[in-house]
Chains A and B, each alone.
Chain A
């Protein structure tokens, strides 16, 4: 004999509560939080390194990786406070992990918190961390078909950054196709082209950060 019991509970009910808590806390404090998502090697950490070197705001970084603290060590060299989260195999960050990491940051002094998610184009986009915007990072060598193949990230992003544009001519990259698909998926998202190691496109990126920060504090 068996009986049926009704449960009706989201698998992520607990985690969604953490995302809510994070959002409420940063609304009070006027801190902008960005969730940076892209494939492994897309250039997320490199973008952060270049950003932190000349950013006119006080920032901190949370690094999400399956293993190692390599990226945190790289960020640390810029003098920015950084916390490493190792997901031990998990393919995306979840809000409860970020909440825990936040407890170790000097929150009162911050303007912007960058969260570098686990390198993965698929599921990090589905998990709300309590961020203000998702930042989609896609690099020229990955090819221009990624937006249509992995639409989730692109249609939830506040900005799409095409990185490694210094490689454009070597990869026969169809920029019109790429940006056309991004626009179809998400007409709201800002579109940027950067080559952060040589400083290309960084001014436009800083303008967006400043605009978002001003909006957040209005």
Chain B
């Protein structure tokens, strides 16, 4: 359900970009997904497969690159990874509550693989 709306937003953004860039046939979409984004990878790729049918992305493969959750303490600079989604809690080193998220919320189109139509030699 949630994955479906993310995929719809992804397709919409790619369609917009394709108007400008005229990519032609897209073979693969490399998407960075932060671990805080609450997505199930299989559901994402399934939703992509279903939703791209009949669009210029039909047949393209969705490749997910999961970005780990990283927090940083603004008081002492301490950085740490977190397995689960939390608010970072307190800094383990200095106990400060002033922590910021460095990564984990990404939903970024990293790159595409498109069919190369300009190639004349083999």
Q: Select one of A12, A122, A184, A187 contacting B9, CB under 8 A.
A: A12
For the complex, what is the distance from the CA of A187 to the CA of B88, rounded to whole Å?
11
For the complex, what is the distance from the CA of A1 to the CA of B120, rounded to whole Å?
10
Q: Is the CB of B13 within 8 A of A92?
A: no
Do most interface residues of chain B lie in helix, strand or loop, or is the interface mixed?
mixed
Q: Is the CB of B27 within 8 A of A2?
A: yes
Interface residues on A, range: 20 to 34
B112 proximal to A (CB < 8 A): yes
Do most interface residues of chain A lie in helix, strand or loop, or is the interface mixed?
mixed
Interface residues in A1-56 by Cβ distance below 8 A to B read 1-15
Q: Is the CB of B2 within 8 A of A6?
A: no
Q: Is the CB of A13 within 8 A of B13?
A: yes
For the complex, what is the distance from the CA of A31 to the CA of B30, rounded to whole Å?
40
Chain A residues close to B by CB (< 8 Å): 1-15, 89-92, 94, 122-123, 126, 151-152, 155-156, 184-188
- Given A2-B27, A2-B113, the answer on whether A126 and B9 have CB atoms closer than 8 Å is no
B83 proximal to A (CB < 8 A): no
Q: Select one of B16, B105, B110 contacting A126, CB under 8 A.
A: B105
- Given A3-B116, A122-B2, the answer on whether A10 and B111 have CB atoms closer than 8 Å is no
Q: Select one of B2, B5, B108, B115 contacting A2, CB under 8 A.
A: B115
Chain B residues with Cβ under 8 A from A155's Cβ?
85-87
Binary contact track B93-107/A, C-beta < 8 Å → 1, others 0: 000010000000111
Which chain B residue shows the least CB distance to A7?
A: B109
Q: Is the CB of A3 within 8 A of B87?
A: no
21 pairs across A/B with beta carbons < 8 Å? A2-B113, A3-B113, A4-B113, A4-B114, A5-B23, A6-B110, A8-B110, A9-B108, A10-B106, A10-B107, A11-B6, A11-B13, A11-B107, A12-B9, A15-B9, A123-B5, A126-B37, A126-B38, A152-B85, A155-B86, A188-B97
Q: Which 5 A-B pairs have the closest CB atoms?
A: A155-B87, A1-B116, A7-B109, A11-B107, A3-B116
Q: Is the CB of B13 within 8 A of A90?
A: no
Q: Select one of A13, A91, A185, A187 contacting B5, CB under 8 A.
A: A91
B21 proximal to A (CB < 8 A): yes
Chain B residues with Cβ under 8 A from A10's Cβ?
106-109
Q: Is the CB of B1 within 8 A of A91?
A: yes
